[in-house]
Amino acid sequence: MVVPEAAGTLLDALRDHLGVRSPKDGCSPQGQCGCCTVLVDGAPRVACVTPVRRVAGRSVTTLDGLPADQRAAWADAFCATGASQCGFCTPGIIVRLAGLRAKDPQADDAAVGRSLAAHLCRCTGWRTIHEAWAAVRDGRPKGSRDLEAASRRATIEGRTPQQVGHEVALGEGGFADDGAPADALVAVPDGQGGWAVGETLAAARATAGKVQGRRTTVPVEPPLALPDGDWAVTLRTSWVEPAYLETDASWCAPGRVPASPLGNGGAFGGKVHSPVADAARLLADAHGRAVRVLLSREDTVRLGPKRPPIAVGMRSDGTGVLRAVRTPGLADVVRAIAPTITLEEVDVPGPPTSMDARAAGWAELALLRAGLAGVAGAVRSPDGAVAEASVADGRIEVRVACGDPLDEVVLRSYCIGAAHMAFGWVTSEGLAVDGDGAVHDLTIRSFGVVLALDTPEIDVEIVHDDGPPVNGSDAVFVAVATALWVERGCPPDLPDTVRARRGGSR
């Protein structure tokens, strides 16, 4: 098939003109997440910022185009090590590693980390991706697995239906936008609360007058002041982006059921109430044609729910005041786990907040309690999982008991991912939101998700237990955040370092 020059970017040409759906769109046209990485004449390129005219006459290789034995080896390795959870980032990462392997088949961990600097993965915490590389490099045979049990554990950890298998690593995990028919209309938010519709993504974005978001110099600031009081320990948190890699997407044919944006989640509480499926159904009926509804990275940041920012002071007897951005469900959590804390909910201009965010409310209160005690002990989650973490010499060590593991590879992967997320929440993640509530950090790199090279070693010990399986990774998230916060001297504001990184002032 000949692709017209007007096809726009290489990613548009691959996904929309040629129907090649393994390169994913996590941030186009920002070129920052690496999900659309392909090889151009053997060299990795980010397809969403590569004009298609620039590759005329050159060889373009996607994950689908790798030799079958290589594809199988990478899929085996990613599945065997738990290096792919939602799988949205994985095709781009495999293509990157295949390019590295062609140049340097014995590349060490540091070289792999440098090559992963062009990518973001929100789910795995990177360690298992390094292990997948080593498994391919060393030609390690794969062990046998009960993938049904593995999928059950992934579903418990992801809190949405999750699959485990080679198809996930190959980018075939069932993402909503991948199944859309080629001739579907495309709808994007028009900035006025409605939808701009076009024949292509580029046309819809042009109709919406979309301008690419930028990283801002506005500093990340906790939006709430501390309540007045004589506090033994205090904490303020900032706006934080869930930063799931697959932005919200759906499609629907007239009179049919829309594809769910949660097909293979990894959303950490995001996308649970996404507007895209309802919009796809309404637009398909209105236009009498299939319609794809897509949120760009900027749309997802502006419209998607955030963890509620808080400012809390606690006295040495455990009483205190928790001031928080008003969020449905927060009062129930505080009443259940900290009845001695008075909750003050306030209305603050900004993006929507949700208690669906991972461990929202109880993570923050666990930090305060550990701060009072001066030591991070074991945490018990509302699900009944128990986790404990320690931080020393740049390593994070985690122990978790959450019932029958079902599949240790998957459970370990989710626990490492949760530890990585906790590390980011404490040290680097934050979203700049001004006093009028406008979000200024609109690029995926500006959220502060920790890259492979900057992630500490994370060891996970899984306690053997025949009890009913419950979610363990949320407990790990809280245990690691608590251990890090205490180890850093209980800094009063989270994230602890982002302002220094951006040149802001305390």
Binding site for ligand FES (CB under 6 A): 84-90, 121-124, 245, 266
To ligand FES, the closest distance from the beta carbon of 178 in angstroms equals 15
Q: State which residue, 345 or 408, has the beta carbon closest to ligand FES.
A: 408
Residue 504, classified by CB atoms within 10 Å of its CB into exposed (0-12), middle (13-18) or buried (19+), is: middle
Q: Residue 30 in contact with residue 212, Cβ under 8 Å?
A: yes
Task: Provide, rounded to whole angstroms, the least separation between the CB of residue 247 and ligand FES.
Answer: 12
Q: Please state the closest distance from residue 473 (CB atom) to ligand FES, in A.
A: 13
Residue identified by tokens 């949760």 is: 418
> By the 8 A CB rule, do 428 and 497 touch?
yes
List strands edge to edge, sheet with 291-294. Answer: 195-198, 185-189, 291-294, 249-252
In angstroms, give the least distance from the CB of 64 to ligand FES: 18
Minimum distance from CB of 488 to ligand FES (Å)?
A: 27
The residues near 120 (Cβ < 8 Å, ≥ 6 apart) are 26, 32, 33, 34, 35, 89, 243, 245, 444, 445, 449, 451
Q: Which is nearer to ligand FES, 120 or 224 (CB)?
A: 120
CB 170, min distance to ligand FES, A: 13
Nearer Cβ to ligand FES (320/424): 424
What are residue 188's DSSP bridge partners?
196
Nearer residue to ligand FES within complex by CB, 86 or 310: 86
Residue placing its CB nearer to ligand FES in the complex, 79 or 279: 79
* Nearest distance in Å: CB 477, ligand FES: 16
Question: Based on CB atoms, which residue is closest to ligand FES, 87 or 308?
Answer: 87
Angle at 33 between CA 31 and CA 38, to 5 degrees: 70
Q: How far is the CB of 111 from ligand FES (least distance, A)?
A: 20
What's the rounded Cα separation, in Å, for the pair 439 and 211? Answer: 14
- Nearer Cβ to ligand FES (158/472): 158
If the CB atoms of residues 154 and 204 are measured against ligand FES, the closer one turns out to be 154
What contacts 24+ positions apart, CB below 8 Å, involve 110-119? 112/452, 113/452, 113/453, 114/453, 116/451, 116/452, 116/453, 117/451, 117/452, 117/453, 118/34, 118/37, 118/44, 118/46, 119/33, 119/34, 119/35, 119/37, 119/89, 119/92, 119/93, 119/452
